[in-house]
Structure 1
Amino acid sequence: RYYAEAEDDYYTKELDASEWQGKGAERLGLEGEVDRARFQQLLAGQVKPGIEISRTSKRNDTKERIGIDLTFSAPKSVSIQALVGGDARLVKAHEEAVAATVAHAETLAQARVKTGGKAGVVDTGNLVVAKFRHETSREQDPQLHTHAVVMNLTRRGDGQWRALRNDNIIKSVSYLGAHYRAELAVRLTQLGYELRHSRDGMFELAHIDRKQLLAFSDRAAAIEAALAKKGIDRETATTAEKQAATMNTRPKKEAIDREASWQRWKDTAKEVGIQLDRPTAPHQAERPGIEADGKSGRQAASAFLLN
């Protein structure tokens, strides 16, 4: 998705659940909670006083790329257990899985360079990433997810800050989703949760079934209804058709009453018979594999170019 401008208010409205990450961020002295003003400066290409990088894109629409929004979403059952059941350990597991995946994405960072008048590409291995954890969907369903906003800048080996060549990261989005899922699965089983895997490589917590999940999936229902109007479903729709349905059915995200939402979620969980008791012992399970084509990561991560 392309933006005419950065939707920084959407990201920074909950700064207490934000954090800087990346070797590039460390070089700029960025750590801990994300500062709104600094975030806006970096989106504008202002690395530090007196240093501003060009972010000109060769795309046909001539818009500047200001960054990438890598969004990592926990399985619906994990969101329910964490946010409705109150198991904060799952929120921590999600954050650790995101951090591990962002660290992997950092190894894909590159920048352009000219040597002897010839254009080339060099690996940089550093990113400046601002992470923002959100806990609700636009339909006010429980949805634990993190926006990892990758700034369009990286530091080359010669010490120069340049625009990020993000091709490798964009191409690896499905793989990064699979990486996140694998990292999360390991942590969930260590906490004692049993997982139910599906054929496409996705998983849910075993004690919450599909019918119970649907009670908390107004967003999914809206997308499926939009696809049905076109005579297709999630299995037969192309990626472009699913993305279009997602964008066309997306309501504006509004301020929420956390206490009221939590009580509504608790009531729904009780109505559909979800048992939210925490496990008391680790569950032994194999670490899920990460398929080479990244299929097991779909729906776990997405990337939007910010312009």
Structure 2
Amino acid sequence: MTVDIRIIRAGQMYRYYLRETVVGDGRRPARTPLREAQEQAGVPAGRWMGRGLAVLGLAPGEEVTEAQLRNLFGERGRHPYADQIEADLLAEGVSPKKAYRAGALGRRVMVTGVDFVFRPQPTIYLLWALGDEETRRVIEAAHERAIERVLEWIEDEVAVIRYGKDGIYRVRPPGGLVAARFRHYEARSGMPLLHDHLLLSVKGQRLDGKWNSIHTLALHENTVAASALYNEIVAAEVCEELGLATEPRTVTPGRRPVMEIAGVPHGLIRWTSRRSDQIAACLAELEHEYVTAVDDDGELKFLPVVSETARAKMNAMAARKTRPPKQKTRPLAQLRVWWKASAILTSGVAVDVITSLLEYARAAAAAIRARGAAGGERARGGRGVAARGWVVEGG
């Protein structure tokens, strides 16, 4: 799955995001302003998204500041400009208590948001990492538009505000939602991994102007659908813009194939998946411990198979257990040079394939289209023969 979700809570969890996630998963130097830390980490500034921005005085694409993040996600759901609102009212002689309340978006909450992580399929981010600048720009643009479309879908079809006793009333947030998007370029291993963190605020405004929290369970329940929509949009746009095609590939035996860009060698995917192999090995050990146990007499007994819920929890545990320290951050241009050199030296894929990866992928797409055209001609020819035979036999 290429869209993951994680709950953001005020307090320690939020501080983790402000220390690491907003600066490319690196450790933010103490007392370093946010934008300066992002520049040092080689990642762009966060950007605001969502149809709910206007009512908060924000604009799509506007840079996310530390104060705005702290208010919305760290201070239990306050207005991004709560500091300014409070200061203005205090200057007008309003009591501190009323001034503070004016900066609140409804009731204070502990769960302040959810973190959606969007990443393309491996063959797409490999083309992004090893291709030329134009290929990189096309893939990043497709990636961003797919995130926008998924957010619109969440606003229109998924998000619901619960209110009233026991949350018996449920409505869509008519004004939309608010999210902060942060771009990352690499995995903790240093391997290429284009991905964005979309920090979605749980605050939504009803038609009567009151603010409530959206139902996070509905977001969790639709993560698979969000992933499918994101993958479909990214792949379709990348294929159209670059003249490529997709093909099914089996990643895990016994599970459904995934659609990947044709012509990108599997050896390059293996080159980037060292950490995935470590997680898989650790997960296998955890699953074995889960399904086997020793009773009081020292006898080995087997428990029921691992449920999907238990497997998801163990997968997260395996990821934490095998998590390496973050590599020293470098600008994207330097990373792309290093990635190409590393792939040439260690992936086992031919140098000419790596240096001309887009051309190989385009050739594979042309072959797929040619086979499709030939198959269509054979099918039409077969139907013609069958029809003529039916006429002869019927006469």
Task: Specify if TM > 0.5.
Answer: yes
Q: How does 1:107-256 map to 2 (within 5 A)?
A: 107=156, 108-114=158-164, 119-125=168-174, 126-191=176-241, 192-198=243-249, 200=256, 202-230=258-286, 238-256=311-329
- Aligned mates of 1:160, 1:178 — CA distance in 2: 33
Identity of aligned residues (%): 24
Q: Which moved more, 1:166-175 or 1:42-51?
A: 42-51
User: Relative to total residues, which structure has the larger strand share, 1 or 2?
Assistant: 1
What corresponds to 2:13 in structure 1?
Answer: 5
Evaluate the alpha carbon distance shift between residue 85 and residue 127 of structure 1 in structure 2; reply closer, same or farther with a 3 A threshold. same
Measured on the aligned residues, the alpha-carbon RMSD in Å equals 2.9
What corresponds to 1:70 in structure 2?
Answer: 116
1:276 aligns with 2:357: yes
Conserved? CA contact 1:55–1:163, under 8 Å: no
1:98 aligned to which of 147, 151, 166: 147
1:46 aligned to which of 71, 78, 85: 78
Give the number of the structure whose alpha-carbon radius of gyration is greater: 2
- Aligned mates of 1:75, 1:95 — CA distance in 2: 14
Conserved? CA contact 2:119–2:195, under 8 Å: yes
| Other structure's SS at 1:188 match | helix
- Aligned mates of 1:164, 1:99 — CA distance in 2: 19
Conserved? CA contact 1:110–1:164, under 8 Å: yes
- Aligned mates of 1:71, 1:81 — CA distance in 2: 20
The Cα offsets for residues 143-195 of structure 1, whole Å up to 9 and x where unpaired, read as: 01111110121111111122222222121011100010111111022021222
The Cα offsets for residues 86-135 of structure 1, whole Å up to 9 and x where unpaired, read as: 322111111111111111111222222228x9842222142111111111
- Aligned mates of 1:38, 1:269 — CA distance in 2: 40
- Aligned mates of 2:198, 2:239 — CA distance in 1: 25
Evaluate the alpha carbon distance shift between residue 26 and residue 176 of structure 1 in structure 2; reply closer, same or farther with a 3 A threshold. same
- Which structure's relative contact order is higher, taking Cα pairs within 8 Å and 6+ residues apart? 1
1:25 aligned to which of 53, 71, 75: 53
Conserved? CA contact 2:177–2:204, under 8 Å: yes
- Aligned mates of 1:97, 1:194 — CA distance in 2: 18
- Aligned mates of 1:84, 1:264 — CA distance in 2: 10
Q: Which consecutive residues of structure 2, in runs of 5 or more, have no partner in the other structure? A: 1-5, 24-37, 86-101, 251-255, 289-305, 370-395
Counterpart amino acid of residue 97 in structure 1 = A
- Aligned mates of 1:246, 1:182 — CA distance in 2: 26
- Aligned mates of 1:214, 1:74 — CA distance in 2: 16
Q: Which consecutive residues of structure 1, in runs of 5 or more, have no partner in the other structure? A: 57-63, 287-307
Conserved? CA contact 1:153–1:162, under 8 Å: yes
What corresponds to 2:125 in structure 1?
Answer: 79
Equivalences, count:
275
| Other structure's SS at 2:116 match | strand
The Cα offsets for residues 55-111 of structure 1, whole Å up to 9 and x where unpaired, read as: 44xxxxxxx212100111111221121122132211111111111111111122222
TM-score (ref. length: structure 2): 0.63
TM-score (ref. length: structure 1): 0.79
| Other structure's SS at 1:135 match | strand
What corresponds to 2:88 in structure 1?
Answer: none
